[in-house]
Amino acid sequence: MDWEPATADDQVAGVPARFVAAPASTAEAAEVLRAAAAQDLAVVVRGGGTKLDWGMPPRRLDLIVDTHRLTGVVEHAAGDLITVVRAGTPLSELDFGSQQLALDSPLPGATIGGSVAANVSGPRRMLYGTARDLLIGITVVRPDGTVARSGGKVVKNVAGYDLGKLFTGSHGTLGLITECAFRLHPVPPARAVVTRTVPAAGVGALLTAVREEQVVPSAVEVDRPPGGEVTVAVLVEGTAEGVRDRAARLEKVLGGHSGDLPSWWGAYPWQPGGTGLKLTAALSKVPDLVGAAAETGIRGSAGTGVLYASVASSEDAPRLVERLRAEAVRAGGHAVVLTAPAEVREAVDVWGPVPGLELMRRVKDQFDPGHHFAPGRFVGGI
Amino acid sequence: MVDSTWGTQDGPRDVLGPVAGEPAFDDHRPPRSDIVDDCVHCGFCLTTCPTYALWGEEMDSPRGRIYLMKEGLDGEPLTASMVRHFDRCLGCMACVTACPSGVRYDRLIEDTRAQVERRFDRTPAQRALRAAIFALFPYPRRLRLLRGPLRAYQASGLQRLVARTGLMERLGPTLATLESLAPRLGRVTAPPRLVPARGTRRAVVGVLTGCVQGAFFPDVNSATIRVLAAEGCDVVIPSGQGCCGALSVHNGREKEAQRFARRLIDTFARAGVDHVVVNAAGCGSSMKEYADLLRDDPRYAEPAAAFAAKVRDLSEILVELGPVAPRHPLPLTVAYHDACHLGHAQGVRAQPRALLHGIPGLTVKEIDDPEICCGSAGIWNVLNPEPAAELGDRKARNVLATGAELLVTANPGCLMQVAASVRRLGGEIALAHTAKVLDASIRGLDPQSLLQQSSR
Amino acid sequence: MTSLEELAAALRAALGADRVVSDRLELRTYECDGLAHYKVTPGLVVLPRDAAECARTVSECVAAGVPFVARGSGTGLSGGALPHADGVLIVTAKMRDILEVSPADERAVVQPGVINLQVTRAASPHGYYYAPDPSSQQICSIGGNVAENSGGAHCLKYGFTTNHVLGAEIVTPDGDLVELGGRAPDTPGYDLLGAFVGSEGTLGIATRVTVRLTRLPESVRTLLAAFATTDAAGAATSAIIAAGVVPAAIEMMDALAIEAAEAAVACGYPPGAGAVLIVELDGPAAEVAAQFAQVTALCEANGATELRIAADDAERALFWKGRKSAFAAVGRISPDYIVQDGVIPRTALPEVLHRIGEVASAHGVRVANVFHAGDGNLHPLVLFDGAADGEAERAEEVSGAIIDLCIEYGGSITGEHGVGTDKAKYMPRMFSDDDLTTMQLLRCAFDPAGLANPGKIFPTPRLCGEVPRRHSAADAPAGAEIF
């Protein structure tokens, strides 16, 4: 297959590539990677290009493997509630009729492969889980060009190691994902969102009240603009009768009202080119974290303890990142700078402390002994 | 076997080497291999086993003990370690209840214990302790001596037998509990031979007076008799009943147990009753197994089966007959404890609860982990005082957690065991046999009368 | 002294004599797990009480070059805890403290020997429970669940162990204690926890597990539906799924399985039924009410001969008792049996059941079917009498043929019991050499010496020394040559 010379746009976090290859199949991808390995090329995988500025810049870069030709739904077995999708398929193009892949995509244009590799998630992770929970099978091409598969096309399956989980969130450092099998969910016929805006001090009580009420929300989101009050928004999905009843109960316990999804729903709070953080917390500490983020603002899944914050000014970034990280750690979680301008990335610890790093290095050494794939992009310089 | 573990190589090395010594079991009633084979090794019994709950070790679980029996049947010798694990079984039969495959572990352990008693050389100290216990417990009259002034006990000659073995020290906590529980009667008056039914006669029943029940809780026997009469039974109480043999059979003393059984069968045969009613769980369960115990006795096999078919726990017969005597309200909160030999061994769980629920004003609380033995287990708490105390404390904590003011159960051993632990934990709860609660309700007694027998 | 004797002495000195079992007869009680036809007497059994003791045990094994196998309650059905004759069996049954129950964080932290059901019992006073519910939940341990990624009837809606384990402290095969995951989700770095769960003891031993607690449903409704045939029951299942309902569970039993369960626990299933479905819905009351009407109608439309709705918890428990006792209950109707565990796409259910029936009758053995119909996880029970000439071999053939059917229909050789000892031989039928080699890269990262539960999962172990030389950038030829 053909490789193209890179153009000025073919950069990864500011590092220019020399070539671009766009395989259209797993076999072609294997061929590309075998050749790249033989030439000792450093490789970064690109899907929709929505997260190329995430993580650290690659230490070196020769080849971008672009998945835009690796697209399409291979199989949709409606009766079995599963699908097999090629990695380059944009999430927004998936249409399974009365069924859905319940993976929210905060960044328009993101592909399946990119979403899995970066482990992105949105509000409905509370009910449906994240990519790791929905993924039931994966086909990858290892950096040496070996094609490997794990899992399968049935939801229930414990044969062999679950490499799908290992590749989920690996940020392209272990190999190229070419196909993913997912479990699907029925599209619920009805939904409702109940919102209430309160001062930050009142968030804890609201979240507890929602939890006490056994209404099984699909999402419990919070949004706090810098210096502002906190909006709590709860999504319920189900049958028309069920949703009516559940929403009414939520209105009562929240003292809020039902309406449509708020405009900020499922979107990251930062602008392109800005500094964005992912903050996690134990559930009971989410109100503390929300309370501590007055200066930057905060948004995200209060129902699972995964939130996002934006740092507007680059000058303040190191101080604010450290403060938010301290708060997140105090809340039992972590703070990761997902994206930031070059000057911020250089000034802060993007990934923060990572437990089990030694084992992770050993995993990397096994899968990518030549450190060809996205070198330096991931935790601990992996 | 060629499979993926060994590939085409040889199987695993035999780490154990050849069997040494005489096989564990001889041909006289070894544990039945067909029953051993019924065990599919699923492990459902593990969490209900008190010793597994204590130690988490396979060989002290029913599954492990069955495995040890299998090893014995395969020719492994009766070693001290094997015997230790058999001895540690409380015989509570919770595993029999839990087993989905229907393994009759009760039969297995009974046969195994008889083999152990016949074939294994215990240490002199162990032998002496057991001899002392069995010189005492199955004999109501000797037991009664323990209750009275110490003088009587000292004069009895029993002291010489018992002192050397340390039995009195082991019995200390139990006796102290007994004294606090048992009403301080000057003497135990023997019950009458016959108490006629009140109102229309619906059945003629015999009542087993038992050893510990008769010696320490004669009031439970009186209550049993009154309740039965009130419910329309002619109640026959034959004299000279002796022991039912439960303790002996549960400890492998097969011959002794058979002797007791024959005597009891004869005694009740002469009484001409429809049913033999028992108010002590352990006694009832072994009497229902007489057919098995005497299966090889040509003269007694048949009468034993006929006798066993007549045996009823008090709660069973009362539910079978249905209540006729009016109940008076007892505004009490009680916790009902399933004695192992009633619940697990006889499957009698619903009946006592139904009877208690039939009393106006009475609230019945369930105890957490109901399937786990309280650690009394016949004489197990005498032979194994430390783990028994631990099990007793666990049970007592669950009992106290119910917040009930009265603990109701149908076995004297459980009452004493739980009371000792409640006392140790610094708690307080009154205790009563089911018969006494029913008696109080039927007679319209003050509920306070039931709260007088307390753990303190 | 042999190396095992030396190891035993060292471990006695380090942990205390009561943690080490070396008595011949006691060792034998550990020679098999729930899959009792594989037996290996362990060289030594160690029962650590905490993580430090467990780590010390592994360290001593590593120092002595002795393999080790972890075991929880010994209820596994794939021989995953089959001991190693020259190795140490590390039993976690004494590590059974529930360290923390935190409803506010929806988490519980437990030692690996804690029994699955005990987590739910500890959480339920707070309004929570632990969702994965293997049929053996009254006895299987959380550590074992983590090793096997155990499923259960309610996985259809709630997922498997891997979806409910948030963190674990593990002893690596080097003897180090390492934290994976944590109290908050999405720990940065590789999802090693996701890889660890379901690795069947080959990547280390979990010594502390943080699990998700799930809010108790407001309403649970359980339906027992009888059908004349498994085809009809299968059609009802498909209709329910097609209607967009996700029940908490849909379980099916065929006539033979019903007979066994009835004999064991007198569960009172409709007599004469060719198949029964247990359908359970849970969730908010209004939601459950709406969907329950739908499910009932669909069962009727698909030929249900009798519908029973559990009136109370006691009746619901009885419905489930029959199902959950079914495996062991088969012991009542057959001297011996093999429990199979395979997965097929749900839509292939009727076809595969017919083919299983054909294979069984061709071999002259009976097969009872118990399965999680909702997710196509079959548990055929192949009945035989080991004492009868050739029956065991024929049963083994039928069992293998069922696995082949699962692969043929695009399913899996195991849905929840694991590969263990029993199914390693089938792995190459489901996966290519490259797939298996790639999986073992993970093994090599965790356990290059191959001491952790060797011989399980993979039919041919990979040697881990083959890491290619790392190229330097300077060695690279000019990329232009590729064009």
Q: What are phi and psi of A60, to 5 degrees?
A: -145, 160
- Those chains having 3 or more beta-carbon pairs within 8 angstroms of chain C are A, B
Q: Are residues A338 and A371 in the same domain?
A: no
The pLDDT assigned to B186 comes to 46
Torsion on CA atoms C29, C31, C35, C36, rounded to nearest 10: -70
Question: Which pTM was predicted?
Answer: 0.94
Q: Are residues A96 and A6 in the same domain?
A: yes
- B34, B57, B71, B105: which to substitute to probe chain C, counting the most C Cβ within 10 Å? B57
How many residues would you count in chain C?
Answer: 483
Q: What is the pLDDT of residues C55-105, one digit of tens each?
A: 999 999 999 999 999 999 999 999 999 999 999 999 999 999 999 999 999
Q: Are residues A156 and A175 in the same domain?
A: yes
Cβ-Cβ contacts under 8 Å, A239 against chain C: 287, 290-291
Judge A/B contact: 3 or more CB pairs < 8 A: no
Q: Are residues A141 and A259 in the same domain?
A: no
Give the whole-number percent of chain B exceeding pLDDT 90.
67
Q: Are residues A1 and A141 in the same domain?
A: yes
- Those chains having 3 or more beta-carbon pairs within 8 angstroms of chain B are C
C136/B43 Cβ within 8 A: yes
B42/C136 Cβ within 8 A: yes
C344/A282 Cβ within 8 A: no
For residue B250, the surrounding DSSP H or E stretch is helix B246-250
CA nearest to B2 within chain C = C425
Domain coverage including residue A251: 193-347
Residue C476 has pLDDT above 70, yes or no: no
A241/C290 Cβ within 8 A: yes
- Those chains having 3 or more beta-carbon pairs within 8 angstroms of chain A are C
Judge A/C contact: 3 or more CB pairs < 8 A: yes
Give the gap in angstroms from C-alpha C184 to the nearest C-alpha of chain B: 32
Q: The domain spanning residue A10 has which CATH number?
A: 3.30.465.10
Q: Are residues A232 and A115 in the same domain?
A: no
B41/C36 Cβ within 8 A: yes
A355/C182 Cβ within 8 A: yes
Averaged pLDDT for residues B165-186: 57
Residue C387 has pLDDT above 70, yes or no: yes
Between residues C386 and C128, which one has the greater pLDDT? C128
Q: What is the pLDDT of residues B91-111, one digit of tens each?
A: 999 999 999 889 999 999 999
pLDDT band of residue B412 (cuts 50, 70, 90) is confident
Task: Give the one of C194, C343, C472 whose C-beta lies nearest to A157's C-beta.
Answer: C343
Give the gap in angstroms from C-alpha A226 to the nearest C-alpha of chain C: 24
Q: In what order do the strands lie in the sheet with A135-141?
A: A73-77, A82-86, A176-183, A135-141, A147-151
For residue C84, the surrounding DSSP H or E stretch is none
Cβ-Cβ contacts under 8 Å, B64 against chain C: 29
Q: Are residues A12 and A57 in the same domain?
A: yes
Provide the H-helix boundaries in B294-433. 301-310, 314-321, 340-343, 350-357, 380-383, 385-401, 412-424
Give the gap in angstroms from C-alpha C387 to the nearest C-alpha of chain A: 32
Q: Are residues A214 and A262 in the same domain?
A: yes
The residues in C 183-242 lying below 8 A from A, measured between CB atoms, are 183-192, 194-195, 197-199, 215-218, 238, 241-242
A348-370 b/e with 16+ CB inside 10 Å = b? bebbbebbbbebbbbbbbbbbbb
Task: Give the one of B16, B57, B101 whose C-beta lies nearest to C24's C-beta.
Answer: B16
B44/C139 Cβ within 8 A: yes
Dist CA B76 CA B201 (whole Å): 58
Q: Are residues A380 and A324 in the same domain?
A: no
Q: Are residues A231 and A149 in the same domain?
A: no
C27/B15 Cβ within 8 A: yes
For residue B300, the surrounding DSSP H or E stretch is none
3-state secondary structure of B207: strand
Q: Which of A83, A86, A91 is nearest to A69 (CA)?
A: A86
C33/B41 Cβ within 8 A: yes
Cβ-Cβ contacts under 8 Å, A380 against chain C: 189
Q: What are phi and psi of C108, to 5 degrees?
A: -130, 145
Task: Give the one of A148, A215, A280 whose C-beta lies nearest to C284's C-beta.
Answer: A215
Give the whole-number percent of chain B exceeding pLDDT 70.
85
Cβ-Cβ contacts under 8 Å, C416 against chain A: 156, 158
Q: Are residues A212 and A146 in the same domain?
A: no
C479/A41 Cβ within 8 A: yes
Cβ-Cβ contacts under 8 Å, C291 against chain A: 239, 242
Q: What is the pLDDT of residues B19-49, one digit of tens each?
A: 778 999 999 999 999 999 999 999 999 999 9
Give the gap in angstroms from C-alpha B59 to the nearest C-alpha of chain C: 6
Residue B177 has pLDDT above 60, yes or no: no
Question: How many domains would you assign to chain A?
Answer: 2
Residue C326 has pLDDT above 90, yes or no: no
A331/C245 Cβ within 8 A: no
C40/B12 Cβ within 8 A: yes
Residue B143 and residue B212 in contact, taking contact as beta carbons nearer than 8 Å:
yes
- C78, C190, C341: which to substitute to probe chain A, counting the most A Cβ within 10 Å? C190
Cβ-Cβ contacts under 8 Å, C457 against chain A: 160-161
Cβ-Cβ contacts under 8 Å, C445 against chain A: 359, 362-363, 365-366
The pLDDT assigned to C462 comes to 81
> Chains A, C: CB contacts under 8 A, how many?
312
Task: Give the one of A81, A158, A359 whose C-beta lies nearest to C149's C-beta.
Answer: A158
Cβ-Cβ contacts under 8 Å, C468 against chain A: 144, 369-370
Cβ-Cβ contacts under 8 Å, C132 against chain A: none
Residue B295 has pLDDT above 80, yes or no: yes
**Where would I find the beta strands (DSSP E) of C353-426?**
366-372, 377-384
- What is the pLDDT of chain B when averaged over all its residues? 88
Averaged pLDDT for residues B232-241: 92
Residue B439 CB contacts under 8 Å (≥ 6 apart), including other chains: B223, B224, B226, B227, B445
Residue B380 CB contacts under 8 Å (≥ 6 apart), including other chains: B90, B91, B388
Q: What is the pLDDT of residues A124-160, one digit of tens each?
A: 999 999 999 999 999 999 999 999 999 999 999 999 9
The pLDDT assigned to C477 comes to 38
The token pair that represents C172 in the structure block: 């690596």
A144-153, B208-217, B419-428, C238-247: the lowest-pLDDT one: B208-217
C389 has a chain A CB within 8 A of its CB: no
Q: The domain spanning residue A280 has which CATH number?
A: 3.40.462.20
Residue A364 and residue A174 in contact, taking contact as beta carbons nearer than 8 Å:
yes
Task: Give the one of A39, A129, A142 whose C-beta lies nearest to C479's C-beta.
Answer: A39
Residue C378 has pLDDT above 90, yes or no: yes
The pLDDT assigned to B148 comes to 56
- What is the pLDDT of chain A when averaged over all its residues? 96
B71/C28 Cβ within 8 A: yes
- Using alpha carbons, list the distances in angstroms from residue A379 to A56, A206, A382, C187, C472: 9, 36, 6, 11, 21
Residue B6 has pLDDT above 80, yes or no: no
Averaged pLDDT for residues A229-249: 97
B37/C424 Cβ within 8 A: no
Q: Are residues A363 and A268 in the same domain?
A: no
Q: Look-up: residue for tokens 């109102």?
A: B199
Task: Give the one of C26, C94, C455 whose C-beta lies nearest to B5's C-beta.
Answer: C455
Task: Give the one of C284, C290, C475 whose C-beta lies nearest to A214's C-beta.
Answer: C284
- Using alpha carbons, list the distances in angstroms from residue B206 to A228, A269, B217, B265: 83, 84, 18, 12
Residue A301 has pLDDT above 70, yes or no: yes
Task: Give the one of C73, C264, C425 whose C-beta lies nearest to B43's C-beta.
Answer: C73
Instruction: Name the pairing type of β-strands B406-409 and B430-433.
Output: parallel
- B2, B15, B101, B103: which to substitute to probe chain C, counting the most C Cβ within 10 Å? B15
